Amino acid sequence: AQSVTQLGSHVSVSEGALVLLRCNYSSSVPPYLFWYVQYPNQGLQLLLKYTSAATLVKGINGFEAEFKKSETSFHLTKPSAHMSDAAEYFCAVSVGSNYKLTFGKGTLLTVNP
Amino acid sequence: DAGVIQSPRHEVTEMGQEVTLRCKPISGHDYLFWYRQTMMRGLELLIYFNNNVPIDDSGMPEDRFSAKMPNASFSTLKIQPSEPRDSAVYFCASTPLAGGPGTDTQYFGPGTRLTVL
């Protein structure tokens, strides 16, 4: 069965600083990987996804993630944090011929002025 | 498009009462998912449907939970009887068939916050 581990339940950065949110996955077959963002009192919104094309994936709001098979990682980055990036971020994995997503526990990003 | 619609947005009930959560997926989406989010367990998939047929209900916690999808535009998640440990945010999501398994974006509704006293 597949699984996702997000390192750090809470990350705090200053406005303008680099954002790095870590995600490692476990899967016996090539995975599809996703990052979702959840703003307070809202549902989840897709940031970006890796579906076996380019390993560097660009998403909305300036975020990107790189799939590294050797490290089983799919870390999310943004060069310069903005106050509006404050939210909870979820990494998710899907494998095989089904539509099930397995989510990590989430990382709460705080952006300080 | 209005997106995935869920109702009610908030529900407060007493232990033992029946609770029904409702979801309207995005028109044309063939898959519908029900998730539960808690602090302790994070986001868990409860059940999902394809073309109104339940495909995998292995995440449904127990017999007190049931889900139906009578048509392509409506689904319900029912808890009977409800218990305090059912308190959580319940999300509905839908996805089209276009990209194939595992690749399609799931579009989430705003969720229903359930509190069982």
Q: Is B84 helix (H, G, I), strand (E, B) or coil?
A: helix
Q: What gap in Å lies between CA A59 and CA A47, rounded to an integer? A: 5
Q: What is the pLDDT of residues B77-100, one digit of tens each?
A: 999 999 999 999 999 999 886 656
Q: What is the pLDDT of residues B45-81, one digit of tens each?
A: 999 999 999 999 999 988 999 999 999 999 999 999 9
Q: Do B103 and A51 touch (CB under 8 A)?
A: yes
- What residues in B contact A9, CB-CB < 8 Å? none
Q: What gap in Å lies between CA B33 and CA B94, rounded to an integer? A: 6
Q: Are strands B74-79 and B19-24 parallel, antiparallel or unpaired?
A: antiparallel
Q: Do B105 and A103 touch (CB under 8 A)?
A: no
Q: What is the pLDDT of residues A45-61, one digit of tens each?
A: 999 999 877 889 999 99
Residues 68-97 of A with CB under 8 A from B: 90, 94-97
Q: Which residues contact A66 (CB under 8 A, 6 or more apart)?
A: A55, A56, A57, A73, A74, A75, A77
**Residue A17 structure tokens:** 């600083």
DSSP A9: S
Query: Is residue B1 predicted with pLDDT exceeding 70?
Result: no
Residue in A43, A49, A96 nearest the CB of B105: A49
**Predicted confidence band at A31 (pLDDT cuts at 50, 70, 90)?**
confident
Put simply, whether A60 touches B (Cβ < 8 Å) is no
